[in-house]
A and B are shown apart, each in its own frame.
Chain A
Amino acid sequence: METELASRKSKIGIILLTGILLSLSLLNCLQPDRELSDAERRKLKQFPAWSVGSFVKKGYSEEFEVYAMDQFPYRDVFRRMKAESLYGVFRAKDNNGIYLADGYAAKLNYPLNENSLKNAMDKFRYIYDTYLVDNKGRIYSCVVPDKGYYLAAQNGYPALDYDKLFNSVKEGMEYSQYIGITDCLKIEDYYRTDTHWNQIKLVPVAKRLAKEMGVAELLSGQYEEHSAAEPFYGVYYGQSALPLQKERIRYLTNQVINGGRVYNYETKKTTPVYEAGKLKSRDPYEMFLSGPVPLLTIENPQAGTDKELIIFRDSFASSLAPLLMEGYAKITLVDIRYISSSILGDYIEFDGQDVLFLYSTLLLNDSFSFK
């Protein structure tokens, strides 16, 4: 009886395990390679070209393994299985550094990287010394808190020393007027699955900045709310690999925003403030000012002022800048992750514009991509 049971178990086991192994192997070999992962928002590794040199140097085997992992059938399903087991069985608090709290996915942003903060301060100081010291405009600085500011400590996750970070910026940029916005925001003002904030919640932030920068009276505060039809899965959706609910990009328009023209120095093209076509791209958030762009200007033909603003920024400014348009005839946005700060003078005439340094805590804590 026992032998019979063992024999049946062996048969079932061999059939099942061989079935899984062979079917996934076959599928792996037969399915065409994919170029992109929508969930992870990245290019997938393609079949590595073989050469004796790459094989001897061991590079080929490593490249092949990356290819095998990237192109594995049902990759997203398998990644989800891992994430579910980590959270559900092993009760891990994060997966790949992404955690879930109060229904929001956020990245562990800890501890404060003082070297990175110093690097950012040095870079801003260089910009100030090179371009702004004789510029007659006023200089402002503002730090955008990441979601961790509202989530981490409250939910038992290690949190950045935000006070230290804000004070370091205030002290390191004493040539600027610091504008605090943490009290204008709450966790509900961010997307659940993404790093970014939700534009329709940014009116208080825009008003605070406008007030401190002396253009409050020019902001009407009148907007029309819109919700994109396309689903939005933020960057943490893919990284957490969990079945989070889809969201929708929401945005504000008014006459000034609709009439604004954006000039992209890289593509040398003029586009509207919002590029609806980007809603179907890998990162729908790129609809705001076309996403990561080194240098662009927003012209406001309906401006009741000739004031200009230069924003040194990261991606958080893309959705905020349109809300400041009414206060300026022209806003220039510079992303020094994609353009070297040493050549800015070739493109921008620093001539009395106001300047705002608007950076998120995420970037200040990881600023080594600054050029």
Chain B
Amino acid sequence: MLFSSITFLYYFLPLVILLYFILPFRYKNLLLLVSSLIFYAWGEPLYCMLMLLAILQSYFIGMRIEAAGGTIRAKRWLVLSVVLCLGILGFFKYYNFFVANVRELTHLPLPILAIALPMGISFYIFQIMSYTVDVYRGTAKAEKNLLYFMTYAVLFPQLVAGPIVRYTDISQQLHHRTHSLSQTYLGSRRFLTGLAKKVLFANSFGMLCSQFDLSKDRSVLFYWLYGVAYTLQIYYDFSGYSDMAIGLGRIFGFEFMENFNYPYISKSITEFWRRWHISLSSWFKDYVYIPLGGNRVPVPRQILNLLVVWMLTGLWHGAAWNFVLWGLFFALLLILEKFILLKRKWYGKGFFAHCYIMVAIIISFVLFRAESLGQAASDIGSMLGLAKLPVISVEAWYYMRSYGVILLMGALGATPIIRKGLHHIIGTKPGAQAAVVLEPVLLGGLLLLITGYLVDGSFNPFLYFRF
């Protein structure tokens, strides 16, 4: 089920919220579990069983690991759980990619299977893997209560597109959490902000990308317009989803980690990855990079570790070579920064640094979205003026004017300027008094406006559902 759907907003959510606040605390987790399973089954009825199997093995093995208490048996249980998790992920996400490449190299008649990618598989597999690893490390206690563990693993606000919530972050809240009017309101505000980011902005930028796909009147300007639109779409789409997840979590009494922190204001790639998909980069850091030796190994090994981590980060996003290249592209930039550029005083300063980072990010997302390496090369070549295309075309000019305002608003909204401005206004006495009524009224208007966009059946894909 999509958050940005009438089914979710006007059927599922009101019913779940109503029941949640009526029921006593001891039934709240059960309600969240059942509603999360319905939420998932609504979109992925068959793969619901697969998800439950993955969760159950993690639950039982987690208890075995704890019982084995740091012995070699605990390690074996951990290895078994990780193999099972990666086996599920590998088969459903990477089997066909692997087989296609082996066939290409060896001409062996290996079968390509008609496997649909289960929704959110990369997110829930990473969540439960982090749980068993944490139990093995002793940083988390194994959850004995199956209901609570399943509630953690399938909690619908963050089930299919993150943030990747670690068990240690919400284990306390699963057992005891408080609810208040102000928490519920702040959660609703955050949810609506995310929904607006998704429905009003990400979908509009997505429409522009679709127009670009259909166009036969391309130009250098159109390629850049497309690059900018997609860069904004992926940010508004994914950060919008994270906002919705965090907001819903707050309504139900959970505090999820922040996943985005204005990544497009970064002045270095290192800073960008501290601000973009924070839950994923910290996951790779804690569960892959540091176990590989992190920064405490010789430089060549550090470089190798970085290449491995970023290749895996790329692969996590999709089973295709362009994702691998996308990860390696960032690995190269990060290695350059880590060992050379960040040591220079002039690096990462001023407007120029910001422009360079944005160009690198836009090009990276054009690579990310490409259907093939050939298309990626062609798109990036066209952006750089190597395809002998006109600088400007009729369509590019039209879409530039038609989407100009929303692109500008999108660019502005990707910086903290608006938030700071609002905080400044609300920080004054008259501002704070006016906000008492104005803010809820604006949020109500926003909900109605979003409903209008949803009712009109506009373009509505969630990019991160496929990861």
Chain A residues packing against B (C-beta within 8 Å): 2, 5-14, 16-17, 20-22, 24-25, 28, 55-56, 58, 61, 64-66, 68-69, 72, 75, 78-83, 85, 89-94, 96, 110-111, 156-159, 241
Contact = CB atoms under 8 A, between A and B. Distances in A.
B182 A7 contact: yes
A159 B395 CA distance: 9
B43 A14 contact: no
A20 B447 contact: yes
Nearest to B429: A1
Contacts of A158: 217, 394-395, 398
B188 A13 contact: yes
B6 A69 contact: yes
A281 to B, nearest CB: 25
B437 A12 contact: yes
A110 B182 CA distance: 51
Interface string B258-277: 00000000000000000000
B436 interface: yes
B298 interface: no
A90 B6 contact: no
B45 A17 contact: no
B1 interface: yes
Contacts of A2: 432
Interface class of chain A by DSSP: helix
12 contacts: A7-B181, A8-B436, A9-B185, A13-B188, A17-B444, A25-B11, A68-B10, A79-B452, A81-B449, A82-B458, A93-B401, A96-B456
A29 to B, nearest CB: 8
A91 B184 CA distance: 34
B146 interface: no
A16 B402 contact: no
A91 B204 CA distance: 12
Nearest to B406: A90
Contacts, number: 145
A24 B182 contact: no
B436 A5 contact: yes
B448 interface: yes
B443 A16 contact: yes
Contact of A9 (B6, B439, B448, B453): B439
Nearest to B432: A5
B440 A16 contact: yes
A10 B185 contact: yes
Contacts of A64: 7
Contact of A75 (B18, B217, B455): B455
Interface of B: 1, 5-7, 9-11, 13-15, 18, 42-46, 181-182, 184-186, 188-189, 192, 204, 215-217, 394-395, 398, 401-406, 409, 432-433, 435-437, 439-441, 443-444, 447-449, 451-458
Contacts of B458: 82
A89 B372 CA distance: 37
Nearest to A96: B456
A81 B448 contact: yes
B448 A13 contact: no
Contacts of B406: 90-92
Nearest to B185: A10
Contact of B402 (A21, A92, A96): A92
B403 A92 contact: yes
Contact of B398 (A9, A28, A93): A93
A79 B455 contact: yes
- CB-CB nearest 3 A-B residue pairs: A13-B440, A93-B402, A10-B185
A72 B405 CA distance: 30
B266 to A, nearest CB: 27
A15 B197 CA distance: 23
A159 B6 CA distance: 36
Interface class of chain B by DSSP: helix
B451 A78 contact: yes
A91 B405 contact: yes
A200 B43 CA distance: 53
A56 to B, nearest CB: 5
A83 B188 CA distance: 25
A25 B401 contact: no
Nearest to B409: A90
Contacts of B439: 9, 13
B401 A10 contact: no
Given A79-B456, A85-B452, A90-B409, A14 B185 contact: yes
A82 B453 contact: yes
Contacts of B401: 93, 156
Contact of A111 (B46, B216, B449): B216
A78 B448 CA distance: 8
Contact of B455 (A14, A21, A55, A72): A72
Given A55-B45, A58-B45, A96-B456, 15 more contacts: A9-B435, A9-B440, A13-B189, A17-B444, A17-B447, A56-B46, A58-B43, A78-B451, A79-B452, A81-B452, A82-B456, A89-B405, A111-B395, A158-B394, A159-B394
B440 A17 contact: yes
A80 B394 CA distance: 29
B40 to A, nearest CB: 11
Contacts of B436: 5, 8-9, 12
B188 A17 contact: yes
Contacts of A81: 448-449, 452
A24 B10 contact: yes
> Among B10, B189, B216, which residue has the most Cβ atoms of chain A within 10 A?
B10
B456 A78 contact: yes
A87 to B, nearest CB: 11
A110 B135 CA distance: 60
Contact of B217 (A55, A58, A111): A111
A61 B42 contact: yes
B354 to A, nearest CB: 25
Contact of B10 (A17, A21, A58, A91): A21
Contacts of B455: 69, 72, 75, 78-79, 82
Nearest to B444: A16
> Among B9, B13, B217, B451, which residue has the most Cβ atoms of chain A within 10 A?
B451
Contacts of B448: 20, 78, 81
B370 to A, nearest CB: 23
A10 to B, nearest CB: 4
Contacts of A7: 181-182
Contacts of A66: 457
A156 B15 CA distance: 48
B394 A68 contact: no
Contacts of A55: 45
B6 A65 contact: yes
A83 B449 CA distance: 10
Contact of B43 (A25, A61, A85, A92): A61
B216 A68 contact: no
Contacts of B5: 65, 68
Given A10-B182, A93-B401, A21 B14 contact: yes
A7 B185 CA distance: 10
Contacts of B186: 10
Contacts of A28: 10-11
Contact of A5 (B402, B433, B443): B433
> Among A65, A110, A111, which residue has the most Cβ atoms of chain B within 10 A?
A65
A316 B95 CA distance: 55
Contacts of B453: 82
> Among A2, A20, A96, which residue has the most Cβ atoms of chain B within 10 A?
A20
